Amino acid sequence: MKITPVEDLFTVFNQTAALLQEELGISFLEALAETGENIFQQSVLQEEISELTLRRLRKSYQALNIQDYTVEEIRKSFQLAILKGMKESVQPNHQMTPDSIGLLIGYLVNKFVTKSSFLLFDPAVGTGNLLTTVMNQQAGKNVEGIGIDIDDLLIKLAYVNANLQQHPIQLFNQDSLEPLFIELADAVVSDLPVGYYPNDVRAADYHLKADKGHSYAHHLFIEQSMKYTKAGGYLFFLIPNGLFESVEAPKLHQYLQDHAYIQAILQLPMTMFRHENAAKSILILQKKEEGLKAPKQVLLVNLPSLSKGTAVESVLQKIDGWIAENK
């Protein structure tokens, strides 16, 4: 069987990361960031490795020309290597948005954001996989990115990911719910971190803070994203299906009514999730701007299994029809 370019490049990432993991006594993900930076810089940057490992790394790198691969082949192979590392060392905040969802969000961004040049922001960027998936689908458009994450390892992987794909992305390692020193974005994409935000002092600055106890992090991320989006800009969130059913939902409803127009809610197929309470939807908002009006009706879609090509195509045609009538 012929090896695909993705498999071929994954093998390089995997083998060279494994060499560095053993040599430096670090985790696979840390070693993957190191080897990714080596490949980008076309050099072995680690000084404290043995001569044997140095020769083996150089041999692997010299046989590789990263320019021979498309950005999607680079992204997918790096993603596979990250997933391998995440399986070896499971952490609650080390999760990745499935490719099928990322591709769907990329399709939606391409349909809703019609500017030929725009700034795309992910406030919970993680390894950068969702952000670069979306950027890779904006053919013919000039897209720059901003990503923020509190996890220093994930932001390092995002940095390497962006460099290898040659995407102009500014990355910041900080708590995304603290004040940000970034430009206002034209659009936001985010797989919202779901749970409670432990910093009650910081949460007190938000409209969507809880009246009692810790606030919902995902509610605060929505408000923060809205704050750093231009008037008229679009926001694409992966949300839990119960977002509008919690005890804090009335406050969220009121906030969205005051600041945004709900454009669409697309419920993802249950087959994508192990448990019903883990099911998610895609929420599309547009920040209010003078002269803008709410859509005639909100686009509500229950997506079929993404493996059912004909049914999915029918839904995409429905989305196209809705956009033609409402945009």
Predicted confidence (pLDDT) per residue in 239-257, tens digit: 999 999 988 999 999 999 9
What is the mean pLDDT of the segment spanning 172-186? 97
* Residue 327: pLDDT over 80: no
Q: Mean pLDDT over all residues of the chain?
A: 94
d(CA 113, CA 316): 16
Residue 259 to residues 80, 222, 270: CA-CA distances in angstroms?
39, 11, 30
Q: What integer pLDDT is reported at residue 271 of this predicted model?
A: 86
State pTM to two decimals: 0.95
| Per-residue DSSP letter, 114 | -
What is the mean pLDDT of the segment spanning 290-304? 92
Contact indicator for 165, 74 with CB cutoff of 8 Å? yes
Ordered by where they begin, the domains of the chain are 5-88 (1.10.150.470), 99-326 (3.40.50.150)
Best CA proximity match to 251, nearest among 288, 279, 284, 215: 215
Q: What integer pLDDT is reported at residue 178 of this predicted model?
A: 97
Confidence of residue 90 (pLDDT cuts 50, 70, 90): low
Q: DSSP 3-state assignment of 216?
A: strand
Please state whether beta strands 142-149 and 117-122 pair in parallel, antiparallel, or not at all (unpaired): parallel
What is the mean pLDDT of the segment spanning 194-203? 95
Please state whether beta strands 229-240 and 169-173 pair in parallel, antiparallel, or not at all (unpaired): unpaired
Q: What integer pLDDT is reported at residue 37 of this predicted model?
A: 98
Confidence of residue 91 (pLDDT cuts 50, 70, 90): low
Predicted confidence (pLDDT) per residue in 51-85, tens digit: 999 999 999 999 999 999 999 999 999 999 999 99
Confidence of residue 173 (pLDDT cuts 50, 70, 90): very high
Tokens representing 246? Answer: 């919690």
What's phi and psi for 121, nearest 5 deg? -120, 130
* Residue 137: pLDDT over 90: yes
